[in-house]
Amino acid sequence: MRIIVTGGGTGGHIYPALAIARGLKEARPEAEILYVGTRHGLEARIVPPTDIPFKGISGAGLKRGRWAQNLLALAQTAQGFIQAWKLLREFRPQVVVGTGGYASFPLCWAAGCQGIPVILHEQNAFPGLANRFLSRKARAVCLTFKEAAAYFPSKVRTVVTGLPIRPEILKADRSRCRQELGLKEDTFCLLVVGGSQGARSINKAMLPVLSYWAGREGVFIWQMTGPREFEPYREQVKSSGIVLGKCGNIILEPYIYHMEKALAAADLVVGRAGASFLAEVLARGLPSILIPYPYAAGQHQEYNARAVAQGGAAVLIRDEELKGGRLLETINSLIANPQRLKYMALRARTLARPQALEEIVEVILEHI
């Protein structure tokens, strides 16, 4: 049994692809699995250190308004298609699995042209351009959000599976993680995450929140600022009169390396609306305040956030609406309303798909 998994350009495409590759290996230990991505993409750094073999081909993404770069990108994609065609002839996979991004395009399109079954996974409520186009060659498209089905041709088989998440997210013990933080059972834990690089707008909106709650009992705030923003933001916090070493209920970190512990300890999450992060928040049954990244391709984060908010599990605040203390007002209103938080947590658990990986693997194996 031979399977190719492909996807890249961003971590949002790579990590689900790796999870699927490992899930397939666990379900079929005898399977030979190959990860194919672009030679210079993020996947070329992330995948090789894992136990999944990696093969690089040419490819590049398109950028709006940059016609010269786009001509070069199209030339690289054409070259990648030729390389993918040869690779498929040599490796002879029974199925190709694509998770989107420009890295998946040449291989999935070549596979479809050769009659090899193609299965896609779409992470967002508004599908990416690559997956929308590739769906014409796909036997099935696995969806994270049911809302995404409307953007694919009606003849394409879509299956709502959810997004595969790391097993440690589900295994983290809440009581143990809170004990490590020194939190009492009745202390409310607010987790603030602006994405892996942080978010300046969210950090700025959090200053009034920190000023209001600094030194008060009953609420603990754990905020990830992003590596670049950490030192400047810490100075802003200091300038606002907050002495972090003395207030006792605020932790600022450039990056949270053990997100499973942070999510396990949290009672409310403030963050962006990337698909992978949302899947983890929902899997933990956490209410959230979602502030979509306004420059995400196709505004897909806003579509993600809207789907979760309409499902009753989140409050949606657009980036431009953060001015005037809106975030502080929203946080305080939720802290003061335990019944609403309880309902949002229930809705989060309802929307979550903790068995996503198993369901995706099942769909893939149907076509072998």
The pLDDT tens digits for 30-71 are: 999 999 999 888 899 989 999 999 999 987 776 666 777 777
Instruction: List, as one string, the DSSP characters of 47-96.
Output: STTSSS-EEEE------TT-HHHHHHHHHHHHHHHHHHHHHHHHH--SEE
Query: Are the folds of 2-163+354-365 and 168-351 the same?
Result: yes
Q: Does 2.170.190.11 match the CATH number of domain 168-351?
A: no
Mean pLDDT of 110-129: 96
Q: Is the model's pLDDT at 11 over the cut of 90?
A: no
Q: Which one-letter amino acid corresponds to residue 243?
A: V
Q: Hey, what are 18's tokens?
A: 């790796």
Give Cα separations from 152 to 21, 137, 157, 308 (angstroms): 24, 12, 9, 20
Beta bridge partners of 105: none
- Whether the CB-CB separation of 107 and 96 falls below 8 Å is answered with yes
Q: Is the model's pLDDT at 358 over the cut of 90?
A: yes
Give Cα separations from 261 to 107, 172, 214, 277 (angstroms): 37, 6, 22, 14
Beta bridge partners of 271: 193, 290
Range of weakest confidence among 101-105, 106-110, 140-144, 331-335? 101-105
Residue appearing with tokens 């009745």: 186
Q: Which one-letter amino acid corresponds to residue 116?
A: I
Highest-confidence segment of 1-10, 33-42, 46-55, 325-334: 325-334
Q: Mapping DSSP to helix (H, G, I), strand (E, B) and coil, where does residue 28 land? A: coil
- Per-residue pLDDT band for 311 (boundaries 50, 70, 90) equals very high
Q: Is the model's pLDDT at 197 over the cut of 70?
A: no
Beta bridge partners of 44: none
Mean pLDDT of 135-157: 96
Of the options 3.40.50.2300, 3.40.50.2000, 1.10.357.10, 3.30.70.100, the CATH number for the domain spanning 2-163+354-365: 3.40.50.2000
pLDDT at 324: 80
* Domain chopping of the chain, boundaries: 2-163+354-365, 168-351
pLDDT at 191: 98
